[in-house]
Protein backbone atom coordinates (compact mmCIF):
# COMPACT_ATOMS: atom_id res chain seq x y z
CA UNK A 1 0.00 0.00 0.00
CA UNK A 2 1.05 3.61 -0.49
CA UNK A 3 1.30 6.05 2.43
CA UNK A 4 2.73 9.49 3.05
CA UNK A 5 5.69 9.86 5.39
CA UNK A 6 8.39 12.31 6.52
CA UNK A 7 11.79 10.93 5.51
CA UNK A 8 15.24 12.03 6.64
CA UNK A 9 17.51 11.30 3.69
CA UNK A 10 20.53 13.33 4.77
CA UNK A 11 21.62 14.36 8.24
CA UNK A 12 21.30 18.10 8.74
CA UNK A 13 18.74 18.49 5.95
CA UNK A 14 14.97 19.06 6.24
CA UNK A 15 12.61 16.12 6.24
CA UNK A 16 11.07 15.27 2.89
CA UNK A 17 7.37 14.39 2.62
CA UNK A 18 7.21 11.40 0.28
CA UNK A 19 4.86 8.73 -0.98
CA UNK A 20 6.21 5.43 0.32
CA UNK A 21 5.28 1.78 -0.11
CA UNK A 22 4.40 -0.01 3.11
CA UNK A 23 4.36 -3.83 3.16
CA UNK A 24 1.64 -5.71 5.07
CA UNK A 25 2.33 -6.65 8.69
CA UNK A 26 4.26 -9.88 9.23
CA UNK A 27 3.89 -12.33 12.12
CA UNK A 28 3.49 -10.51 15.42
CA UNK A 29 3.15 -7.14 13.69
CA UNK A 30 0.41 -4.53 13.32
CA UNK A 31 -0.71 -2.07 10.68
CA UNK A 32 -1.67 1.08 12.56
CA UNK A 33 -3.33 4.26 11.31
CA UNK A 34 -1.53 7.10 13.09
CA UNK A 35 -4.00 9.55 14.63
CA UNK A 36 -1.59 11.71 16.65
CA UNK A 37 2.19 12.04 16.92
CA UNK A 38 4.47 14.19 19.03
CA UNK A 39 7.71 15.86 18.02
CA UNK A 40 10.34 14.83 20.57
CA UNK A 41 13.80 16.34 20.98
CA UNK A 42 15.18 12.89 20.09
CA UNK A 43 13.71 13.36 16.60
CA UNK A 44 15.51 16.69 16.27
CA UNK A 45 18.72 15.07 17.51
CA UNK A 46 18.54 12.53 14.70
CA UNK A 47 18.00 15.30 12.17
CA UNK A 48 20.99 17.36 13.33
CA UNK A 49 23.22 14.29 13.77
CA UNK A 50 23.79 14.51 17.52
CA UNK A 51 22.01 11.14 17.84
CA UNK A 52 23.42 9.17 14.88
CA UNK A 53 21.03 6.88 13.02
CA UNK A 54 21.27 5.23 9.59
CA UNK A 55 19.47 7.05 6.77
CA UNK A 56 17.18 7.25 4.94
CA UNK A 57 14.74 6.88 7.82
CA UNK A 58 11.06 7.66 8.42
CA UNK A 59 11.19 9.63 11.65
CA UNK A 60 8.86 9.89 14.66
CA UNK A 61 8.57 7.65 17.70
CA UNK A 62 5.81 9.08 19.92
CA UNK A 63 2.32 8.29 18.66
CA UNK A 64 -1.14 6.86 19.15
CA UNK A 65 -3.44 5.33 16.61
CA UNK A 66 -5.92 2.68 15.58
CA UNK A 67 -5.14 -0.91 14.60
CA UNK A 68 -6.09 -1.53 10.98
CA UNK A 69 -4.74 -5.06 10.58
CA UNK A 70 -2.98 -7.60 12.78
CA UNK A 71 -0.43 -10.03 11.41
CA UNK A 72 -0.41 -13.76 12.13
CA UNK A 73 0.09 -14.63 15.78
CA UNK A 74 -0.90 -11.23 17.15
CA UNK A 75 -3.79 -11.02 19.62
CA UNK A 76 -4.62 -7.41 18.72
CA UNK A 77 -7.86 -6.73 16.89
CA UNK A 78 -8.69 -4.18 14.17
CA UNK A 79 -10.28 -1.08 15.66
CA UNK A 80 -8.37 -1.21 18.94
CA UNK A 81 -6.68 2.01 20.03
CA UNK A 82 -3.00 1.81 20.88
CA UNK A 83 -0.06 3.87 22.06
CA UNK A 84 3.15 3.20 20.14
CA UNK A 85 6.31 3.10 22.21
CA UNK A 86 9.99 3.21 21.28
CA UNK A 87 10.88 0.58 23.91
CA UNK A 88 9.48 -2.77 22.73
CA UNK A 89 10.47 -5.82 24.75
CA UNK A 90 11.11 -9.32 23.42
CA UNK A 91 10.21 -10.90 26.77
CA UNK A 92 13.02 -13.48 26.55
CA UNK A 93 16.37 -11.69 26.98
CA UNK A 94 18.11 -11.27 30.35
CA UNK A 95 16.84 -7.72 31.07
CA UNK A 96 13.27 -8.66 30.07
CA UNK A 97 13.19 -11.76 32.27
CA UNK A 98 14.74 -9.74 35.12
CA UNK A 99 11.83 -7.30 35.03
CA UNK A 100 13.65 -4.51 33.15
CA UNK A 101 11.99 -4.60 29.70
CA UNK A 102 13.10 -1.05 28.91
CA UNK A 103 16.66 -2.46 28.59
CA UNK A 104 15.67 -5.23 26.13
CA UNK A 105 18.75 -6.28 24.14
CA UNK A 106 17.07 -7.29 20.86
CA UNK A 107 14.99 -4.09 20.94
CA UNK A 108 18.10 -1.95 21.37
CA UNK A 109 19.78 -3.73 18.44
CA UNK A 110 16.72 -3.31 16.23
CA UNK A 111 16.41 0.37 17.09
CA UNK A 112 20.09 0.88 16.32
CA UNK A 113 19.80 -0.80 12.90
CA UNK A 114 16.49 0.82 11.96
CA UNK A 115 14.45 -2.38 11.82
CA UNK A 116 11.38 -3.68 13.60
CA UNK A 117 11.87 -5.94 16.62
CA UNK A 118 11.85 -9.03 14.38
CA UNK A 119 14.62 -7.60 12.18
CA UNK A 120 12.48 -6.74 9.16
CA UNK A 121 11.93 -3.46 7.29
CA UNK A 122 8.45 -2.82 5.89
CA UNK A 123 9.22 0.46 4.08
CA UNK A 124 10.27 0.72 0.46
CA UNK A 125 10.77 3.57 -1.98
CA UNK A 126 12.03 4.08 -5.55
CA UNK A 127 14.92 6.05 -4.01
CA UNK A 128 16.47 3.68 -1.47
CA UNK A 129 14.76 1.73 1.28
CA UNK A 130 13.84 3.94 4.27
CA UNK A 131 14.37 2.48 7.74
CA UNK A 132 12.17 2.50 10.84
CA UNK A 133 12.82 5.06 13.58
CA UNK A 134 12.86 3.30 16.96
CA UNK A 135 10.42 0.73 15.64
CA UNK A 136 7.65 3.31 15.18
CA UNK A 137 8.21 5.87 12.35
CA UNK A 138 5.29 7.92 13.62
CA UNK A 139 5.57 10.69 11.02
CA UNK A 140 3.50 8.72 8.50
CA UNK A 141 -0.19 8.25 7.83
CA UNK A 142 0.03 4.50 8.50
CA UNK A 143 2.84 2.37 9.93
CA UNK A 144 3.72 -1.25 10.53
CA UNK A 145 5.09 -1.96 14.00
CA UNK A 146 5.85 -4.97 16.17
CA UNK A 147 2.91 -5.66 18.45
CA UNK A 148 5.51 -5.45 21.24
CA UNK A 149 5.69 -1.73 20.41
CA UNK A 150 1.96 -1.25 20.97
CA UNK A 151 -0.02 -0.86 24.19
CA UNK A 152 -3.82 -1.00 24.23
CA UNK A 153 -5.62 2.05 25.57
CA UNK A 154 -9.19 2.97 26.42
CA UNK A 155 -11.01 4.44 23.43
CA UNK A 156 -12.19 7.31 25.62
CA UNK A 157 -8.62 8.64 25.84
CA UNK A 158 -8.03 11.30 23.15
CA UNK A 159 -5.29 10.37 20.69
CA UNK A 160 -3.44 13.66 21.16
CA UNK A 161 -3.08 12.93 24.88
CA UNK A 162 -2.42 9.22 24.47
CA UNK A 163 0.48 9.90 22.10
CA UNK A 164 2.46 11.53 24.92
CA UNK A 165 2.56 8.21 26.76
CA UNK A 166 4.73 6.84 23.94
CA UNK A 167 7.75 8.82 25.13
CA UNK A 168 7.25 11.95 27.21
CA UNK A 169 5.23 10.34 29.99
CA UNK A 170 7.07 7.03 30.22
CA UNK A 171 10.51 8.67 30.33
CA UNK A 172 9.27 11.17 32.92
CA UNK A 173 7.72 8.37 34.96
CA UNK A 174 10.95 6.40 34.58
CA UNK A 175 12.90 9.29 36.06
CA UNK A 176 10.55 9.44 39.04
CA UNK A 177 10.18 5.73 39.79
CA UNK A 178 13.44 4.13 38.61
CA UNK A 179 16.08 6.78 39.25
CA UNK A 180 14.83 9.10 41.99
CA UNK A 181 12.67 6.42 43.67
CA UNK A 182 10.18 9.11 44.65
CA UNK A 183 7.32 7.95 46.81
CA UNK A 184 3.89 9.57 47.25
CA UNK A 185 3.96 12.53 49.63
CA UNK A 186 7.68 13.23 49.30
CA UNK A 187 9.51 16.16 47.67
CA UNK A 188 12.59 15.46 45.52
CA UNK A 189 14.78 17.27 42.98
CA UNK A 190 13.64 16.68 39.40
CA UNK A 191 15.90 15.70 36.47
CA UNK A 192 15.31 15.39 32.75
CA UNK A 193 17.20 12.14 32.12
CA UNK A 194 16.81 8.68 33.61
CA UNK A 195 15.94 5.09 32.78
CA UNK A 196 12.58 4.63 31.07
CA UNK A 197 9.72 2.78 32.65
CA UNK A 198 7.84 0.10 30.74
CA UNK A 199 4.58 1.69 29.51
CA UNK A 200 2.70 -1.50 30.39
CA UNK A 201 3.65 -0.91 34.03
CA UNK A 202 2.41 2.69 34.20
CA UNK A 203 -1.19 1.88 35.25
CA UNK A 204 0.16 -0.03 38.27
CA UNK A 205 2.31 2.85 39.52
CA UNK A 206 1.01 5.11 42.33
CA UNK A 207 0.59 8.81 41.53
CA UNK A 208 3.39 11.10 42.73
CA UNK A 209 3.25 14.86 43.05
CA UNK A 210 6.60 16.67 43.10
CA UNK A 211 6.91 20.07 44.78
CA UNK A 212 9.53 22.06 42.85
CA UNK A 213 10.53 25.69 42.71
CA UNK A 214 13.68 27.27 41.29
CA UNK A 215 16.20 26.13 38.66
CA UNK A 216 19.91 25.87 39.52
CA UNK A 217 23.15 26.16 37.58
CA UNK A 218 25.22 23.03 36.95
CA UNK A 219 28.36 23.31 39.15
CA UNK A 220 30.49 21.40 36.61
CA UNK A 221 29.77 23.31 33.41
CA UNK A 222 28.10 26.47 34.71
CA UNK A 223 25.19 25.96 32.32
CA UNK A 224 21.52 25.65 33.19
CA UNK A 225 20.50 21.99 33.16
CA UNK A 226 16.80 22.29 33.76
CA UNK A 227 17.17 20.92 37.25
CA UNK A 228 14.99 22.01 40.11
CA UNK A 229 15.13 22.01 43.89
CA UNK A 230 12.19 21.27 46.18
CA UNK A 231 10.56 23.91 48.31
CA UNK A 232 11.56 23.87 51.97
Q: What is the pLDDT of residues 164-174, one digit of tens each?
A: 999 988 888 77
- pLDDT at res. 190: 55
Q: How many domains does the chain have?
A: 2
- Look at residues 112, 142, 166 and tell me which one is the last residue of a structural domain: 166
Residue 181 has pLDDT above 90, yes or no: no
Q: What is the rounded average pLDDT of the residues 193-213?
A: 43
97/177 same-domain check: no
Residue 222 has pLDDT above 90, yes or no: no
138/41 same-domain check: yes
44/125 same-domain check: yes
Going by pLDDT thresholds of 50, 70 and 90, the confidence category of residue 197 is: very low
- Look at residues 144, 166, 188 and tell me which one is the last residue of a structural domain: 166
Q: Which has the higher per-residue pLDDT, 12 or 202? A: 12
132 three-state secondary structure: strand
Per residue in 122-171, pLDDT (tens digit) is 999 998 899 999 999 999 999 999 999 999 999 999 999 999 999 988 88
Which run of H or of E encompasses 64? strand 63-70
152/182 same-domain check: no
- pLDDT at res. 212: 38
Residue 194 has pLDDT above 90, yes or no: no
Answering whether pTM is above 0.85, one says no
CB 34 within 8 A of CB 141: yes
CB 40 within 8 A of CB 137: no
Among the residue ranges 68-77, 98-107, 143-152, the one predicted with the least confidence is 98-107
96/192 same-domain check: no
152/208 same-domain check: no
For residue 85, the enclosing domain spans: 2-166
C-alpha dihedral (178, 179, 181, 186), degrees to nearest 10: -130
193/156 same-domain check: no
Amino acid sequence: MEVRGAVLREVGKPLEIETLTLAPPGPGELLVRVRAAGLCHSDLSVIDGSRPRPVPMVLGHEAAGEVVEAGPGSDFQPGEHVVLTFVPSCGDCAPCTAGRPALCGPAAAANREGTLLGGDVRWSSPVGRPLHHLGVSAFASQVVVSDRSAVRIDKALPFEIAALFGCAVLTGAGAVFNAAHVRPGTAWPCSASAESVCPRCLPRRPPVRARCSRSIRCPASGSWRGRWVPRC
